[in-house]
Amino acid sequence: MAEPHMSDPTESSSSPAASAAGARPVQDRELPVTPTDGDRAHASNPESAAGGAGHTPTDVSASASTSSSETDEALTEDQVKLALRRVKDPELNLNILDLGLVYEIRVDGNAVAIDMTLTSPGCPSGPEIMSDAERHLRALPGVGDVSVNLVWSPFWSPDRIEPRVRAYLGF
């Protein structure tokens, strides 16, 4: 009796077999991939209702939607830096910009490339840090190609840490 139930994916989503078969579409509809995707969807609606006019400083929602549409048009280095500040070294719990792991940021249209290093060649968190950096960069609105390049020259040292963070750490 359980076999027909498991083979029919059109039954209600309350059954375990149907929810397992239809898990991907339900998740895609209910959960945004990143918080910025959900925020962007809500921010773009007020702009279209206002006809794109919303540059008055008193209209906060129109200003937010205008800046969202501007980020779709021109990606800036500051936006890339904000995204990279969300990437933390899991061992130190500090972001990779403050640690001085990012050497160069290049923005060319909608393409982003960064050169970064790790605290040591044997860093066990290296793959996690690099994939997090790529994931956060891809989540930026309007981004196209993303390239995260691992470089070893110059070699990282604690001197590359931001001075305020270095003072906090006691270096």
The predicted model gives 8-22 an average pLDDT of 43
Q: Cα separation of 100 and 122, whole Å? A: 17
pLDDT, one tens digit per residue, over 69-109 is 444 468 999 999 999 999 999 998 999 999 999 999 999 99
Question: pTM, whole model, 2 decimals?
Answer: 0.58
Contact 11, 18 (CB under 8 A): yes
A 10 A CB-CB count for 93 gives 7
- Domains belonging to the chain, first-starting first, are 2-73 (no CATH), 77-169 (3.30.300.130)
125-138: average pLDDT = 96
The gap from C-alpha 97 to its chain's centroid, in whole angstroms, comes to: 15
Select from 91, 80, 78, 104 the least CA-distant residue to 169: 91
